[in-house]
Amino acid sequence: MVHQNAKKAHEFAEETVGSLMDFDFICVPETYTVSETFKYLRKNVHGKANIHYSYVIDPLGVLVGVLSLRELLGADENAILKDIMAPTTLKLSYDLDQEKAAKIFQDSDLVTLPVIDTNGRMIGVLHVDEMMDVLQQEATEDIHKMASISVDEDEEVKGLLESSMGWLYKKRIGWLVILVFVNLLSGAGIASYEELLNQHIYVVFFLPLLIASGGNTGSQSTTLVIRAMAVGDVTMRDWGKVFAKEALVSFALGITMAAAIAVIGYYRGSDYGAGTETAIIIALSMVIVVMFGGLLGAIIPFVFRLFKLDPATASTPLITSICDIAGVFIYLGIASLFLQL
Amino acid sequence: MVHQNAKKAHEFAEETVGSLMDFDFICVPETYTVSETFKYLRKNVHGKANIHYSYVIDPLGVLVGVLSLRELLGADENAILKDIMAPTTLKLSYDLDQEKAAKIFQDSDLVTLPVIDTNGRMIGVLHVDEMMDVLQQEATEDIHKMASISVDEDEEVKGLLESSMGWLYKKRIGWLVILVFVNLLSGAGIASYEELLNQHIYVVFFLPLLIASGGNTGSQSTTLVIRAMAVGDVTMRDWGKVFAKEALVSFALGITMAAAIAVIGYYRGSDYGAGTETAIIIALSMVIVVMFGGLLGAIIPFVFRLFKLDPATASTPLITSICDIAGVFIYLGIASLFLQL
């Protein structure tokens, strides 16, 4: 049975435990004594690397326990394995996602975990060093997604130098074109205030600054939430806490940024005889835009996860683009309220 | 000597091998036979977790070799360790940076590495599972930096839920305020074209879209380069290759995005009797802005590293803001050339 499964190794799905496991391991019957186990080990360990544990199976071949070589060395020679083994509470199913396996390794301090088939029989072992590559690869995938670079989950991440220009183009063009059309809405927003701008062109002066501030705050909050979700620090049920915290933090950020820019707004506006109005418009817009960005960035990853999408797809360029649109309407809306009274 | 060093464990610098190492390990003299070693092991392994290797020392206490328990089990009982041990080619200095140690583990497939003092004497062991946390933490630090969240290298990364609002505010406000003033330059840029905008207000319609496209392309390229540097895939001497590749890829991206938007430019411009000019202005600006963003994003991490700064400080909001400024001048510059002829 074990042998048959082993032969199918190449058929295990990508990014699962099965595709990463090693077939060098030692299994002994639970009825063996420690000295019988040593005899068996001496005969069978040659040429096998990374043997740190001896796994124990019952008469049906089902994995029931484990002993490290260190524990065997410390045990009485005549003890029966069944009586001294630790039950294998941690075992990985061959079809488990590699990222979940990495989390299990992080929470345990074992260097090797046994892999079992659907009948509980042991078919391989997974070593912790494979998990380092997995963690690194998953982090790279998330980082790329967060910069609106498409990631194909079933494809290995290629190095920047090895990857072809066609491949890089394909990974990048999709979101860029989508974002062009999203940003078209900002332009449409501006156009809808054509009359305001014709009368008060200096209003445009503060536009890039205000919309960028919303996007930057949103980039920060979405990044904090996406990463916290990825490392298991934040789960779906934390959304209320995260949202409330972000409301307060982004309010404080907005007030600070408003104070920094209101003075400049006053002087700039004064040239056009509207110093106070401009300062108020800009300060008020800044607080609202920054809070909008911060809260949008914090909540979008939860919404994506709710719809079973990867939260990392809430890329910072996407958040920035949505904040741009909102920023145009918030700022120009407030400006027309004050200036066209 | 070993004992004295061990007592100073809490004094090892943060984020170094010394601060992460474990003091449970087994050292035996090189003159021992395999059976003497087993006897010594049986007496000394109790209560020690994660013992997978037996380290071998010379009469001066200097680490000279290593044998896994598996290799000991497979060896002749009367063999002298000196004759059968593997020389310890991989040993970590106690003051080595944890990130470098993680790279060494990734390149080897050992689960434990010995840690030595300046005299080559063994003072501890480092287990691979510590490295998983290191990798995860370093990735989190980079991800945060890339979203313009300040990271204090000497401080442990806190979870989003545990961290106080004051701490989050402090981490985020610095770059946000800096970026407000950087973005002020975009506004100043727009203001310097006040006359053009007064005559052709519809030009503003495409402004958000064009400047955002440069920023988005730059976010992608800087992210690709920063991550490739972090995983050791790209080094300083690759800058020419990376730059040349990005020039071609961003040219192709720019052409595609220009094609997507030129048609809309034509129709929009036609309302103002300048269809063809608008299409040309927008297409030309798009290609230049996208190439500027792509190349800036690709080269800035190299510049930062050249000045011994962390490349991840080239955050996407910073790149986006610089692209915004450049985009304003490129687009409005080209527009005034064509429209004021």
- Confidence band, pLDDT 50/70/90 cuts, at residue B281: very high
Asked if A251 has any chain B CB less than 8 Å from its own CB, the reply is no
pLDDT digits (tens, 9 = 90+) for A101-131: 988 888 887 888 999 999 999 999 998 888 8
Do A140 and B231 form a contact (C-beta atoms < 8 A)? yes
In chain B, residues with a C-beta closer than 8 Å to the C-beta of A45 are: 70, 73-74
B54 Cα distance to chain centroid = 35
Position B318 in a domain:
yes
Averaged over B44-68, what is the pLDDT?
Answer: 87
**CB count in 10 Å sphere of residue B86:** 12
Residue A327: is its pLDDT beyond 60? yes
Residue B124 is predicted with a pLDDT of: 92
Position B143 in a domain:
no
Query: Is residue B318 domain-shared with residue B173, that is, in the same domain?
Result: yes
Position A144 in a domain:
no
Distance from CA of B187 to the nearest CA of A (A): 4
Residue A7 is predicted with a pLDDT of: 42
CB pairs under 8 A between A and B: 347
- Confidence band, pLDDT 50/70/90 cuts, at residue B255: very high
Query: Is residue A121 domain-shared with residue A216, that is, in the same domain?
Result: no
Position B35 in a domain:
yes
Query: Is residue B109 domain-shared with residue B223, that is, in the same domain?
Result: no
Sheet holding A112-116, edge to edge: A92-93, A112-116, A122-127
Residue A231 is predicted with a pLDDT of: 84
One-character DSSP codes across A209-264:
HHHHHHHHHHHHHHHHHHHHHHTTSS-GGGHHHHHHHHHHHHHHHHHHHHHHHHHH
Query: Is residue A326 domain-shared with residue A251, that is, in the same domain?
Result: yes
Residue A136: is its pLDDT beyond 60? yes
Residue A2 is predicted with a pLDDT of: 39
| A239-270 vs A207-230: helix crossing angle, rounded to 10 | 160
Per the structure, how many domains does chain B have?
2
Query: Is residue A188 domain-shared with residue A49, that is, in the same domain?
Result: no
Q: What is the CATH number of the domain that holds B317?
A: 1.10.357.20
Among A104, A224, A319, A325, the strongest candidate for a mutation testing the B interface, having the largest count of B CBs within 10 A, is A224
Residue B277 is predicted with a pLDDT of: 84
In chain B, residues with a C-beta closer than 8 Å to the C-beta of A142 are: 143
Averaged over A96-104, what is the pLDDT?
Answer: 89
Among A133, A141, A168, A324, the strongest candidate for a mutation testing the B interface, having the largest count of B CBs within 10 A, is A168
Asked if A147 has any chain B CB less than 8 Å from its own CB, the reply is yes
**CB count in 10 Å sphere of residue A140:** 20
Q: What is the CATH number of the domain that holds A114?
A: 3.10.580.10
pLDDT digits (tens, 9 = 90+) for A222-238: 999 998 998 888 999 99
Query: Is residue A324 domain-shared with residue A208, that is, in the same domain?
Result: yes
| Distant-in-sequence, close-in-space partners of B281: CB < 8 Å, separation ≥ 6 | B265, B331, B334, B335, B338, B339
pLDDT digits (tens, 9 = 90+) for A273-316: 778 888 999 999 999 999 999 999 999 999 999 998 888 887 88
Asked if B59 has any chain A CB less than 8 Å from its own CB, the reply is no
- Confidence band, pLDDT 50/70/90 cuts, at residue B4: very low
Residue A203 is predicted with a pLDDT of: 85
pLDDT cut 90: percent of chain B above it: 40
Averaged over A196-209, what is the pLDDT?
Answer: 84
Position A147 in a domain:
no
Environment class of residue A221 by beta-carbon count within 10 Å: exposed (0-12), middle (13-18) or buried (19+)?
Answer: buried
Q: Note down the domain range covering A72.
A: 1-133
Closest CA in chain A for residue B237 = A161
Residue A15 is predicted with a pLDDT of: 82
Please judge whether B147 and A219 are an interchain contact, meaning their C-beta atoms are less than 8 angstroms apart: yes
Closest CA in chain A for residue B127 = A111
Tokens of A190: 């501006």
Query: Is residue A122 domain-shared with residue A188, that is, in the same domain?
Result: no
How much is the mean pLDDT over chain A? 87
Of B133, B149, B184, which residue is a domain's last?
B133
Query: Is residue A129 domain-shared with residue A178, that is, in the same domain?
Result: no
ipTM above 0.90, yes or no: no
Query: Is residue B229 domain-shared with residue B125, that is, in the same domain?
Result: no
Closest CA in chain A for residue B198 = A198
Asked if B247 has any chain A CB less than 8 Å from its own CB, the reply is no
Contacts with A, B 280-319, CB within 8 Å:
290, 316-317
Tokens of A210: 């205000």
Distance from CA of A56 to the nearest CA of B (A): 17
Contacts with A, B 151-170, CB within 8 Å:
159-161, 165, 168-169
SS3 A16: strand
Query: Is residue B175 domain-shared with residue B116, that is, in the same domain?
Result: no
Position B157 in a domain:
no
Environment class of residue A306 by beta-carbon count within 10 Å: exposed (0-12), middle (13-18) or buried (19+)?
Answer: exposed
How much is the mean pLDDT over chain B? 87
Position B33 in a domain:
yes
pLDDT digits (tens, 9 = 90+) for B59-105: 988 999 999 888 888 888 899 999 999 888 889 999 999 888 988 88
What is the pTM (predicted TM-score) of this model? Answer: 0.82
Of B74, B109, B133, which residue is a domain's last?
B133
In chain B, residues with a C-beta closer than 8 Å to the C-beta of A256 are: 173, 176-177
Residue B7: is its pLDDT beyond 70? no
In chain A, residues with a C-beta closer than 8 Å to the C-beta of B234 are: 159-161
Residue B300 is predicted with a pLDDT of: 94
Residue B10: is its pLDDT beyond 80? no
Query: Is residue B124 domain-shared with residue B181, that is, in the same domain?
Result: no
Position B151 in a domain:
no
Residue B341 is predicted with a pLDDT of: 54
Of A133, A150, A175, which residue is a domain's last?
A133
Residue B53: is its pLDDT beyond 60? yes
Do A135 and B135 form a contact (C-beta atoms < 8 A)? yes
Query: Is residue A283 domain-shared with residue A172, that is, in the same domain?
Result: yes
Do A52 and A111 form a contact (C-beta atoms < 8 A)? yes
Q: Distance of CA B109 to CAs A50, A116, B2, B56, B122, Å?
A: 8, 23, 27, 20, 20
In chain B, residues with a C-beta closer than 8 Å to the C-beta of A264 are: 184
